[in-house]
Amino acid sequence: MPKEGVLIPIGPYHPAIKEPEFFKLIVEGENVVDADIRIGYNHRGIEYLAQRMTYHQVTFLVERICGICSNIHPLCYVQAVESILNLKPPERALYIRSIIEELERIHSHLLWLGVGGHVIGFDTLLMWTWKLREYVLDVFEEITGNRQSYAMMKIGGVRRDIRAEHRQKILKVMDEVERGVKQIAAMLLEDPVSRARLEGVGVLTKEEAGNYCVVGPTARASGLPIDVRKDFPHAAYSMLSFEVPVRTEGDVLAKTIVRIEEMLQSAEIVRQAVDAMPGGDIEVEFKEMVPGEGVGVAEAPRGEDFHYVVSDGTNYPKRHKVRAPTYMNLPSLKPQLIGYSLADAPIIIASIDPCLCCTDRLSVVDRREGRRKAYSWDELVYLSRRKTRRR
């Protein structure tokens, strides 16, 4: 561990944070020359707990891994268990799973866009996107009863139906989202100041992206056309038509554009799914667990989410392995940060969409002067915003 460095401990648990992280940036003057990242500050032992709960209880446990993409972990988990049982959920349940997954992607990307705007000092963007996000959360509340942690997934199907009276509301909100996202995207991408802060910053090359095995929008912005929804179709994705936006630049702007285009695609998928959804049951029963092993994958807003479950035939999983997408994306921040200025660090870190709300403190050592200074996250954001103002 080098003596001097910039420490950004991203702290305690928060509904919006997946993995607390610790960044140690080494700067020379304004420029980042090295970076070290550590995780594990709030390890909750989910895998340990999962081995001591029944299969149905684990669905609710994994829902609590993340407060933003709370649906994706239960979805992966139930798919892994269904793979062990060789269980096929009814088609209507598959469509409902896709609808929930896409609504979640829209609200997660809107949240991200707002945080990104906030970090570069474009707080108006935060207000706009989070207002739009409210409409999506209203839909969740209406369908599932909850704005977050919807408890929709169940081994063999889903727990609640999307009823006929929800259809109009969903379609109306999707139109609203599409209109809003297009308007916001135009305002962000046509503004020369915002563009200057995003373009050419935090580049992740295709080679590095492959080497770090990154996933999701981070990979797709670096020219890797990978998307679980296309490559390993789950839920109803093989029956829906949509495109996977890919950019080759690898900078923060590319990651922004990929996410904006994904939101528009998601709105389209939800519209298709609501119309194409067949009638029928929403779950199938199963009698008892069988020994075996199963994998569950799904495309979370941040990339591929991966669950592996081993069963020994008892009521409790023998082993349950969870790998969230940020786990793969986080180490790739190292090449993204090196070579850019300290004021760019917040937007680069935000660009992979880790949950950042709890970033609380960081200390900087200027190698030339040998000084050590502790920055709070607010001060760091101030540095970033000052850079925007100078443009």
Partner 1 sequence: MACSKDVERFAEDLAARFRGKILEWYLKPLAEASCVYFRVEKGSLKQVAEVLFKEMDGKLSTISAVEHASFFELVYHFTLSRQGILVNLKVELEKDRPEMPSLAPLMKGANYIEREIRDLFGIEFPGHPEPKRLILPDGWPEGKHPLRSDYKGVE
Among 16, 126, 295, 357, binds partner 1 (CB under 8 A): 295
Q: Residue 286 interacts with partner 1 (CB under 8 A)?
A: no
Of the candidates 160, 101, 161, 165, the one whose C-alpha atom is nearest the C-alpha of residue 136 is 101
Q: Residue 46 interacts with partner 1 (CB under 8 A)?
A: no
**Which residue, 49 or 126, is less far from partner 1 as judged by CB?**
49
The answer to whether residues 228 and 297 touch, using CB atoms and an 8 Å cutoff, is yes
Among 72, 120, 203, 215, binds partner 1 (CB under 8 A): 215
Q: Residue 79 interacts with partner 1 (CB under 8 A)?
A: yes
What is the residue-wise DSSP string for 136-149?
Answer: HHHHHHHHHS-SS-
Q: Residue 33 interacts with partner 1 (CB under 8 A)?
A: no
31 has which bridge partners? 28, 341
Of the candidates 195, 214, 201, the one whose C-alpha atom is nearest the C-alpha of residue 339 is 201
Q: Residue 379 interacts with partner 1 (CB under 8 A)?
A: no
Q: How far is the CB of 298 from partner 1 (least distance, A)?
A: 9
Q: DSSP secondary-structure letter at 238?
A: G
Among 245, 294, 301, 346, binds partner 1 (CB under 8 A): 294
Q: Residue 273 interacts with partner 1 (CB under 8 A)?
A: no
Among 40, 192, 279, 370, binds partner 1 (CB under 8 A): 40
Of the candidates 8, 70, 73, the one whose C-alpha atom is nearest the C-alpha of residue 36 is 8
Choose one: 101-109, 158-166, 212-220, 361-369; the region binding partner 1 (CB under 8 A): 212-220
Map the footprint of partner 1 across residues 315-334, applying CB under 8 A.
Answer: 318-319, 321, 323, 327-328, 330-331
**Which residue, 200 or 331, is less far from partner 1 as judged by CB?**
331
Q: Residue 226 interacts with partner 1 (CB under 8 A)?
A: yes
Choose one: 40-48, 255-263, 265-273, 278-286; the region binding partner 1 (CB under 8 A): 40-48
- Parallel/antiparallel/unpaired status of strands 361-366 and 291-300: unpaired
Q: Residue 233 interacts with partner 1 (CB under 8 A)?
A: yes
Please give the sequence-ordered ranges of beta strands (E in DSSP) within the chain, or none if there are none.
Answer: 6-9, 21-28, 31-39, 153-154, 157-158, 291-300, 303-312, 319-323, 361-366, 371-376
26 has which bridge partners? 34
- Report CA torsion sign: 83, 88, 89, 92: positive
Choose one: 36-44, 63-71, 177-185, 380-388; the region binding partner 1 (CB under 8 A): 36-44
Number of residues that bind partner 1 (CB under 8 A): 46
What is the residue-wise DSSP string for 37-93?
Answer: EEE-TT---HHHHHTTS-HHHHHHHHHTS-SSSTTHHHHHHHHHHHHHHT----HHH
**Which residue, 271 or 320, is less far from partner 1 as judged by CB?**
320
Among 124, 146, 168, 211, binds partner 1 (CB under 8 A): 211
Choose one: 128-136, 208-216, 271-279, 370-378; the region binding partner 1 (CB under 8 A): 208-216
User: Dihedral angle at the C-alpha atoms of 23, 28, 34, 37, nearest 10 degrees?
Assistant: 0
Distances from the Cα of 280 to the Cα of 95, 284, 351, 377, angstroms: 12, 11, 41, 51
Among 55, 135, 212, 377, binds partner 1 (CB under 8 A): 212
Distance, CA of 96 to CA of 158 (rounded, Å): 8
Instruction: Return residues touching partner 1 (CB under 8 A).
Output: 38-40, 43, 45, 47-48, 79, 82-83, 86, 208, 210-215, 225-227, 230-235, 238, 292-297, 304, 306, 308, 310, 318-319, 321, 323, 327-328, 330-331
